[in-house]
Amino acid sequence: MTAKMDTVSYENLIHREKVHGSLYTDPAIFQAEMETIFHNGWVFVGHTSEVPKAGDFSRRQIGKQPVLITRDRDNNVNLLLNRCTHRGNLLCNRTNGNASTFTCPYHGWSFGVDGEMRGMPMLQAMGEGFDKAELGLAHVPRVGIHRGFIFASLASEGESFEEYLGDAKVLLDRSADLSPEGEVDLSAGWLKHRFKANWKMLPENNTDGYHVGSTHSSMLMATGSANSGAFNDEMGDPSVIRDWGGGHTELDFAPRYRMSGRPFQWFGGTRKSKLPKYMAAMEAAYGKEETEERVLAGPPHAIIFPNLFLAELNITYFYPVSTNEVIQYYTPLLLKGAPEVNKRAMRQTEGAMGPGSFLLPEDASMAERNQLGLEALTPEWMDLRRGLHREHIDEENGLLTSSVSDETTNRAFWSHYLTMMSKASSRAGSGC
Amino acid sequence: MVNEQVFREVEAFIYKEARFADESAYDDWEALWEDDALYWVPTRPDADPEVDISHIYDNRARIGTRIRQLKSGFRFSQVPPSPMRRVVSNIEIISVTGEEYEVAANFMLMELAIQSTRDMNFWGGSIVYRLRRVNGELRLFYKKIMLVDADEPVANLSFLV
């Protein structure tokens, strides 16, 4: 570990009611985050539906490291480091596709989609007793899959996948349970959006109900939903924010949807009669009562720490680039067995998500302006006290809960961040 | 395929559309569109909009929403509007069907993200326009913008591209 990392005392920078501005700007902190959170912790990588057939592959990153999601002939989903085991060449430079082998163009070494070495030109030079098995592609040490959502850790030991996901796995279930087949399909491709801002502003913002009324006022005006009281707890929006533990947070609109008593408020208020095949398939799979409940409550709006955003009928993740740059990705949450829903979900995602949409450009601009404002070093602290006096444990689920404009979710993010970063920092210190 | 006079007319329409977009002349730009409009920014040249997500896939109603949002004064990613200038070139008339013209062109656009980073963003790609003559005037009913970097991370695309 670097000496620099030892000098950061996260306990002094993160308090319940405020966090220090340097957390978004200090390059040493960024390096420590990459190592602790992105390279040693669990992160979201992709979904099994992106590689449906044998030979399918999709390029990703875990933190800064290039990886490939592949499906091999035995139907296993593999996570492989995208690096030729010879001289380090980026083995595969296509975004996605189907291949029987990956052949490095530098000297012609080839590998199966399962990572095993297939061959190299002029093998004799490797000497007697050389075993090709030694030079297979590196596998990501730990992979966890829930409802097709693939998570990974580059550390071979540490917190288990089950411990990492904790109770928040029910949020993934809620997404998948909107499909009559119980499976989501993330095959529509990803929009990629560059934010010149620190990565932490994304998970913080995504379950922040408070910014919507101001940041997104133009969207509310253009679509005629301004002054509806949505996102305003003083005007009676009963939506809540929740701390699921482990840095996972939720902004739950279901209470507002329930108050309206009308299904599909999360889908433009569509009437059930407009989606007859979907309703029939759902009722056949889950029964009438359960279906009514699911189409009323809708999909989750939640962060799975650190980089997955279950954004209702959209899925979003990101890669940090530097202290002041992050790339965010978006795709529609398509539901297997629900073509009626999916056709409109595509258009709904285009309206809401991505650099050309009606919502995300404002989030990008605000994040960038935050980053620019943080160049001013006074005041040193960012205020996070909203709702401290009224957040409470919800007896129904045992989760810390508060009103839609409070900052319970931000505090939940920072609390978990502090746990991870200070643990790593003290490990680094104890070695000296 | 068309005579010189028609070509010049098509070219002049394309330059006018580009000027309205550059100057964020929202009402003038919106008024160019027909009711069966499609304003489309895909992520790949061979994209199928029913299967592949697009950056922008606006029908006429959604173009209206886009313009209302830009005119609200609170579309913060365009407050103030990006200073822009674009060059449209390599104009070719691809096909003529009655009074409808399909036109291909290339473009390069300098856009200043004056609202936040003040980065000079450089955009470029190809465009397919479909124009229709209505009561003697050319009208726009299709504009597909294929950005060279559409499948890469891009900055805000909330201006008129």
User: What residues have CB less than 8 Å from B46, skipping those under 6 apart?
Assistant: none
Q: Which of B55, B75, B76 sits opposite A354 (nearest CB)?
A: B55
Phi, psi at A297, each rounded to 5°:
-75, -30
State how far the Cα of B126 lies from the Cα of B88, in Å rounded to an integer: 9
With an 8 Å Cβ cutoff, are B151 and A95 in contact? yes
pLDDT at A396 over 60: yes
* Domains delineated in chain A: 44-153 (2.102.10.10), 167-421 (3.90.380.10)
Token pair, residue A339, equals: 């073509």
Domains of chain B, residue spans: 4-147
pLDDT at A427 over 90: no
pLDDT at A149 over 90: yes
Looking at residue A6, its pLDDT comes to 53
Percent of chain A with pLDDT strictly greater than 70: 97
With an 8 Å Cβ cutoff, are B153 and A193 in contact? yes
Which string of DSSP letters, residue by residue, matches B39-78? EEE-SSTT--TTTS--SEEE-HHHHHHHHHHHHTS--GGG
CATH code of B4-147, in short, is 3.10.450.50
Looking at residue A83, its pLDDT comes to 98
pLDDT tens-digit map of A157-184: 999 999 999 999 999 999 999 999 999 9
Q: Which of B52, B119, B158 sits opposite A356 (nearest CB)?
A: B158
pLDDT at A3 over 50: no
The answer to whether A101 and A114 are in contact (CB under 8 A) is no
CA A135 to chain centre: 32
Give A423's pLDDT tier (boundaries 50, 70, 90): confident
- B126 contact A CB<8A: no
Looking at residue B13, its pLDDT comes to 98
Token pair, residue A344, equals: 């409109």
**Rounded mean pLDDT of chain B?**
97
State how far the Cα of A165 lies from the Cα of A151, in Å rounded to an integer: 10
Token pair, residue A396, equals: 């129904």
With an 8 Å Cβ cutoff, are A365 and B53 in contact? no
pLDDT tens-digit map of B36-54: 999 999 999 999 999 999 9
Interface test with B, best of A191, A328, A363 (most B CBs within 10 A): A191
pLDDT tens-digit map of A192-229: 999 999 999 999 999 999 999 999 999 989 988 777 78
The answer to whether A239 and A255 are in contact (CB under 8 A) is yes
Angle at B43 between CA B42 and CA B47, to 5 degrees: 70
State how far the Cα of A287 lies from the Cα of A283, in Å rounded to an integer: 4
Task: Compute the average pLDDT of residues A299-320.
Answer: 98
Looking at residue A1, its pLDDT comes to 41
With an 8 Å Cβ cutoff, are A188 and B51 in contact? yes
Q: Which residues of A touch B66 (CB under 8 A)?
A: 222, 358
pLDDT at A69 over 80: yes
Looking at residue A425, its pLDDT comes to 81
Q: Which of A223, A343, A364 sits opposite B156 (nearest CB)?
A: A364
Looking at residue A428, its pLDDT comes to 67
State how far the Cα of A369 lies from the Cα of A372, in Å rounded to an integer: 5
- B69 contact A CB<8A: yes
User: What residues have CB less than 8 Å from B105, skipping those under 6 apart?
Assistant: B14, B88, B89, B90, B91, B92, B126, B127, B129
Alpha helices by DSSP H, A126-216: 161-165, 169-176, 201-206, 212-215
Q: Which of B66, B76, B154 sits opposite A362 (nearest CB)?
A: B76
With an 8 Å Cβ cutoff, are B55 and A351 in contact? no
The answer to whether A203 and A195 are in contact (CB under 8 A) is no
CA A158 to chain B, closest CA, distance in angstroms equals 33
Distances (CA, A) of A177 to A49, A203, A298: 16, 24, 10
